[in-house]
Structure 1
Amino acid sequence: MQQPRIARIWRGRVLRDRADEYELYNYEAGILPLVERALAVQTFREELGAEVEFTTISYWPDVESMARFTGRDPTDIHHLRRDPEFLVSLPSAVQILQLRSSHGFGLPPFEPG
């Protein structure tokens, strides 16, 4: 199994009354295709008063594998077709982080190197 070395983090906010609907849409249209290609995917939901923020973290062996999935620069935002309908504002960037060590979640530990 390849080790994750890169984490790609996306965040988007929706109004609370549309959060459940968006969560299902995001899972079907965004997460399921991602699960087929990334090493792992995590989704988070945070209640923030009138809004709900969704965070998706996908793990990759390298930036090149992300680029093969997106078909372009993996740092570019790829909005789902209905995102403008749901999201309070369209995110303008994703965060790309180098994973320096990992412990737990059934993955073999690794250290920087």
Structure 2
Amino acid sequence: MPTKPTIARIWRGRTRRDVADMYEKYVRTEGIPPLERTALGVQLLREDREEETWFTTISYWPDMQAMTAFTKGEPTKVHHLDRDPELLIELPQRVEIHRILVDEQGLR
């Protein structure tokens, strides 16, 4: 039986609209693959607003120990990608760690 996640790690960042497509491609190639190899699951979300675009990455973990091992002992520290200072409007200062209380994925 597959392991169900108990922890969600959520990162949010925003770009200017004119670099949003470039940033999306960059995150897909540089930021998402390490999570796909290690986490139970990962989602990349995008919200285009009038003047900026928000990106949210949610990774799912079996427990705090697994997530802490991936983050090298610092689960709440933001690990910026190399080009984040260039492409993001500001560098996020934190990630959110949430306990998953309900996990029903029966999408219809």
Unaligned residue ranges in structure 2 (runs of 5+): none
| RMSD (CA atoms) | 1.1
Matched residue type, 2:54: E
Q: What corresponds to 1:96 in structure 2?
A: 97
CA distance in 1, matches of 2:11, 2:105: 22
**Distance in 2 of aligned mates of 1:87 and 1:99:** 28
Corresponding residue of 1:109: none
Q: How many equivalent pairs are there? A: 106
CA-to-aligned-CA distance 1:23-80 (integer Å, 9 cap, x gap):
0001111001111000000111001211000000000011111111121211100000
TM-score by length of 2: 0.94
What are the residue-to-residue correspondences of 1:20-99 with 2, within 5 Å? 20-99=21-100
User: How far did residue 105 of structure 1 move?
Assistant: 5.0
| One-letter code aligned to 1:74 | P
Whichever residue aligns with residue 16 of structure 1, its letter is R
TM-score (norm 1): 0.90
**Structure 1 segments of 4+ aligned residues over 4 angstroms from their partners:** none
> What is the deviation of 1:5?
0.2
Give the Cα separation in 1 of the matches to 2:67 and 2:99: 13
For residues 2 and 75 of structure 1, what CA distance do their matches in structure 2 show? 23
Percent sequence identity over aligned pairs: 50
Q: 1:75 to 1:105 in 2, by over 3 A?
A: farther
